[in-house]
Chains A and B, each alone.
Chain A
């Protein structure tokens, strides 16, 4: 893409998320979300293959619907509160509509159907932006309206997301779809704790972004998009297989890796609020996620996956792709657990 257009789109993307997060007027927050959607559509269509076009179309349709619902919720809130300031909502209808609109934006179940389809149709780096940066704006609005969100609706959607994220990712051979289902499940964990302790949502989001960034950057090094290709990375970049395994296990929430921290905090917070069944079910359902991460780690790093002879002796070229922040990200996504008290105090 022309570098000027690229810079303009990326800066619009960043600016739009900043507008949403710092805005105190509902209209400007909505405008920020619209700008966000408009900016990412051309980024998704960088290579205009038919699949990318379809993914962009699906993304646009779902996000536009969510924006329309959001505007409806804002106007209902305006009717009842006669002011545009972003604070708790004054009407349960507005609250439910807004929760659903933001759930569509985030890809929470039962509005999750677009996430694997869109993620599969776009390149890896754009998928990274979609699953990390695009979550910031809706979560910031959810954070601000969290006192007025309907508890039952939110808990239902969250648990359904964790379940569907685990169940849907079970049979995937395409890595981008696996990351999409992983995103759905993680969004479920984040939104479960939103009404009890919104700071933990932020912590979970931060850890999730670091882990997803690490995972996508590792995949982009070799342009691996299927499990079979990933199982052959031991041949081209052996050190990457170790990092891939550690990052996958961290995403699965295994101690002593970083990914355990948000899950631990969330379960602790839920039990403090005398909710016992929900965290038990969440922890059990998270095992589904762990199962397919483990399967990937198993085929990548723990065993030599069967392959033909000409796959076994590849030239190990010096990597030409830029590993932006990869070493830092790997350290952060695997070794942050001892710093849990720091995060606990900060947030």
Chain B
């Protein structure tokens, strides 16, 4: 609890998350509309309209105009942007970010002095305090393969949390090849630098993931992906489970990084490898517990910290029977 207070009151230095270019340019918002439903505003709206769409809170039921379901774009709003102007703005934005990058490199890693980065023991990585925080996430469900689950993301009460809600349906799509279905996920966008260069998080100072959530009793899976340049590793991820308790109280979930197990293409592998924390690309929450019906998950913030009592490096062993290749 004390840790929560410290994190929220800013005793530890908060990381300034660079705003992704997506939110700042309507042109880019349009491009992302096809697969991103995390934005509060309609993807084709001009920035002037976005502020008028901010409303007070609604319920779980009923769709507001500002939530966008997957793959549905509003027919009535036309894009009111000038193509040339948008291109020029984007180029200027990228050069500005490049200049900031160079200046930040001189100051230290992530734009802060090195001693500050090394002495940091807790860090809030993602928090939900405004619409721009929701734009850092992508929400997806089995609708992409023809299923019937629905998932939405919106800001919670008083803009103090994010609410991920929807309906899970494990009815398999009638396409003749899928036997199973029923998943919903919320994945963080990969951080990008100037000219959409892929970035990664360096959490090698920390050893535990900290989540302040309020769920409905459903078990969620927390997935972490590492940054990679080879395409064969795009399906590899490290996962662990988060059991929510339901109820009115906030739940603080601490998952040490040593507990994450390795899986490739959705299957847990016999050969287990440790999650290396120096190149983290994204984190995601998946619900696939085969229970049809509505769900919700409220997230206050996601942070990482060093638990000095936790000295385990890796929780799983490889055995010669399952994997003789590793013991040759």
Contacts and interface: CB of A to CB of B under 8 A. Distances in A.
Interface of A: 1-2, 5, 47-51, 53-54, 57-58, 117, 120, 167, 170-174, 226-228, 231, 295, 299, 305-306, 308-311
Given A54-B228, A227-B118, A299-B118, A170 B105 contact: yes
B233 A173 contact: no
Contact of B105 (A5, A167, A306): A167
Given A54-B230, A173-B114, A120 B106 contact: no
A48 B326 contact: yes
A50 B233 CA distance: 8
Contact of B109 (A1, A173, A228): A173
22 contacts: A48-B271, A49-B276, A50-B228, A51-B276, A54-B228, A54-B233, A117-B229, A171-B108, A171-B109, A173-B109, A173-B205, A174-B204, A226-B204, A226-B205, A227-B114, A228-B118, A228-B205, A299-B118, A306-B119, A308-B121, A308-B306, A311-B308
B201 interface: no
A228 B230 CA distance: 29
B229 to A, nearest CB: 7
Contacts of A173: 109, 114, 117-118, 202, 204-205
Contacts, number: 64
Nearest to A117: B229
Contacts of A117: 229
Nearest to B326: A48
Interface string B108-128: 110000110111010000000
B80 interface: no
A310 B105 contact: no
Interface string B18-53: 000000000000000000000000000000000000
Contacts of B108: 171
Contacts of B119: 306
Nearest to B111: A171
B236 interface: yes
Interface in B251-273: 262, 271, 273
A178 B134 CA distance: 36
A173 B229 CA distance: 21
B328 interface: yes
B204 A58 contact: no
B278 interface: yes
Interface residues of B, number: 30
B133 interface: no
A58 B231 CA distance: 12
B274 interface: yes
Nearest to B115: A299
Given A171-B105, A171-B108, A228-B205, A295 B230 contact: no
A236 to B, nearest CB: 15
Interface string B210-230: 000000000000000010111
Given A57-B230, A174-B278, A1 B328 contact: yes
A58 B229 contact: yes
B114 A50 contact: no
Contacts of B106: 170
B88 interface: no
B325 interface: yes
B314 to A, nearest CB: 11
Given A2-B328, A120-B278, A173-B202, A50 B118 contact: no
A172 to B, nearest CB: 8
A171 B114 contact: yes
Contacts of B325: 48
Contacts of A309: 308
Contacts of B276: 49, 51
Nearest to A120: B278
B160 to A, nearest CB: 31
Contacts of B278: 120, 174
B236 A295 contact: no
Contacts of A174: 204, 278
Given A48-B326, A171-B114, 5 more contacts: A50-B273, A58-B229, A226-B204, A306-B119, A310-B308
